[in-house]
Chain A
Amino acid sequence: MSNAYIDKFPAEAKVVKAAFYSSFLALALGGVFGVIQTLHRTDIYRFIDSADYYTVLTAHGVFMVITFTIFFLVGVFTWAVTTSLDRGVEDIRFTWSWVGLMTIGTVMAGVAILAGFVDSIDISASVLFTFYAPLQAHPLFYLGLVLFVVGTWVAGADWFRSWWAWKKENPDARIPLPTFMVLTTMIMWYIATMGVATSILVFLLPWSLGWIETVNPLLTRTLFWFFGHPVVYFWLMPAYLLWYTMLPKFAGGKLFSDPLARVGFVLFLLLSTPVGIHHQYLDPGIAEGFKFIAMTNTMFLLLPSFLTAFTVVASIEHGARQRGGTGYFSWLKSLPWRDPVFAGMALAGLLFAAAGFSGMVNAGMNINYLVHNSLWVVGHFHLTVGTAVALTFMAVSYWFIPQVTGKELWNRSVALIQVVLWFIGMTFMTNSMHRAGLIGMPRRTAEPQYTGFEFETAVGSVGELNAQIALGGVLLTLSLVLFFANIIGTAFGSRSDNLPDNGYAEALSGSDDAPRVLDNLKLWTAIAVVLVIIAYSLPLMSIVDRGGLFGPDITAFPANLESVRFLAFAVEHLGTAALESAGTLAWNTLPEVIR
């Protein structure tokens, strides 16, 4: 008998497996729509009407960055909490309830999107992944999103419940690192989803149902981006969790520093949300000063990113040297490149470095004007979520799927070729997307070429750029085919006792070296909330003041400027109270840290 995850936690393994298979189904659908839009937009092969392009784009976006990523990460988080606390979930029926909520939500939103292809059905949701006004979807789409997000909230409650139960039995123990990462990520998610919940429940859903006639588009955009940037970290932080706690193990070594990992996650909790306005640098309704604050906050996010890069590379180097590696760079040869799990995750991290550089261009207010809403941005997020996250998730699946099914991976060589092919495909596609963006080629359009206008490329031609994007898209599709062949082959295999043990990397510098204040989740939550209030209260009040809650001079609900002032007063007092409580917490915990 092996010591795999399924052997220790058979009931939880079923939940994780269901989450992974749901995510893979979304990945398959998203992949099909991805290659259709790539070939259509580049005019290489067209078989859909250009009007349907936006339905395809919505399906690709929602299935990939909402369903695939989040279903996968809830599986990873369930594994992380149960493994690191060494206890099963408190109530497996409760656990299945959030899986059910997320599934129902996905089906509802998916049906609303896909119905857009059928003219005889009066349902559509071609509102793109960003879904803010003035684009309007069928209520089914918004209700589906609500159920899906509520499902993730319940999932978070499930993991907190496990931690609280564990804490009662281990009152003085440090939070195990994987659980710490899950909890900080979920606190960030709870804060971030307040924006999208408000946007949907107060504005978009009543508007879609016809209960209110108009909305303030800038307000719904701002509330979306309140959630829209931290959702990027909701995808990335599970990948970071895997890079910190699993990659060192696959490399043959240990995590370089547990305290640095905790600091990184605390910083992500604090800084992920008060930065969303950097997506709105070109929105005329927001004052430049607020945008400057958002830019400053965004630049601070480089700190945990660099911490992560340093810690992960140091851990990999430690692994290589444990395997006999020597020299300044020769140790790279000693890494287990034959292992698709390691190779895929390492290649994902490599392209993520490039994503960081293009992200800095997006974050800078002045340079952003050059690339805003251009194909550059699409190139950027295909390196972040499309590679750093997706490739890490696919690569680590080759370790997880045997753990939760009890079956050996069908073919390791195919798996290695698959991750390498994804790396090459994404290189071709994103390079040309960035270059196309630099010459001003727009995103979110089926027809990027305008009549009587020629883009002037720095190198090559527009035709070459398009061919390179299409080549990348085709290679990515081939990579997906290999991935699914391997997953299906594994799923239909037979049980094996020859599986690697479940577990995660030990640390060279462990949790005992980390100040205890890092585990004070109440303190970090309070500071995160205060930062959000500082970054968002004035811009939101200004937007409502100028454009009304439901548009200029429209008071659909019993709301008026007086109530906004009352709201501002309440927010101000809440902020002061939160600051006071944060100060008290800091005052109480600092002596402990100093001791």
Chain B
Amino acid sequence: MRISKAGLLVVLAFLAPVLVELRTVLAWVNIELSVLETAIIGGIIIAVILVWAFLPENGDEEGAERDVSNSEL
């Protein structure tokens, strides 16, 4: 993993304000998203983050060990 499980949890939590505010920000440039569309975009971003997080760093397993944050959850 490229990030600890706890770190991943916090990143996903931080996504909540980003997604919630994204809808308002896009409305300024006349892109109006429905709740469903926002949820789908959110789901895609979460999936991308999860794929990134679970990929081994530089193709090896050492990346996971390099993270000094406790990875147990």
Contacts and interface: CB of A to CB of B under 8 A. Distances in A.
Interface in B1-46: 3-7, 9-10, 13-14, 16-17, 20-21, 23-24, 27, 32, 35
Nearest to A458: B27
A354 to B, nearest CB: 8
Interface residues of B, number: 25
Which size bracket describes the interface of A in this complex? 20 to 34
B16 A460 contact: no
A67 to B, nearest CB: 29
B61 interface: no
A505 to B, nearest CB: 19
B44 to A, nearest CB: 19
Interface stretch (A84-92, A102-110, A278-286, A424-432): A424-432
Contact of A427 (B16, B27, B69, B70): B16
A343 B24 CA distance: 27
A459 B24 contact: yes
Contact of B70 (A336, A420, A459, A464): A336
Contacts of B6: 337-338, 343, 416
Contacts of A464: 35
B68 interface: yes
A338 B70 CA distance: 6
B39 to A, nearest CB: 12
A410 B19 CA distance: 33
Interface string A413-446: 1001100100110011001000100000000000
Contacts of B71: 338
A238 to B, nearest CB: 24
A468 B24 CA distance: 14
B73 interface: yes
B67 interface: yes
A428 B20 contact: yes
A351 B64 CA distance: 29
B21 A333 contact: no
A459 B23 contact: yes
B72 interface: yes
Interface string A314-339: 00000000011100000001111111
What are the 6 tightest A-B residue pairs by CB atom distance, in nearest-first order?
A: A338-B6, A338-B70, A337-B6, A459-B27, A427-B17, A337-B7
